[in-house]
Amino acid sequence: MKRSLLFAKLHNCTLTGANLEYMGSVSIDRALLDAAGIVPYEQVQIVNIANGSRLMTYAIEAPEQSGIIELNGAAARLGAPGDRVIIMAYAELDASEIESHRPTVVMVGQGNTITEVVDYQNLPTRFDRASSPEVRAEVTA
């Protein structure tokens, strides 16, 4: 059995355009694709923080260092320039691959530039509710 896990995430991108007349997809700055390990034509999910919409499409390459994140085709109706979005890609993994899997998370700042690539190699894979500050506060209240 394979399970679908997060492979890569571009966190806190800003939409720079919405092109209804283009055939479809999302254009993403090549530098962001490379940093996340997302390849052109790979399926991605886009979550719009501004309006809550979610969509599946595929990534296409925009010029490197252009800062472009643009919804194309019908997807253009789900976002407007200036909206913040999260772009995620998933991978199908066998049970034997899950324990060692760590996603690549690229934190994105102003102008859709890379601010940090989060190292998930040193983070635990399982959530420990007892060690969570929110849960500790909840239990002690």
Would you name the residues annotated as active-site residues?
25, 58
**Which class for 126: exposed (0-12), middle (13-18), buried (19 or more C-beta within 10 A)?**
exposed
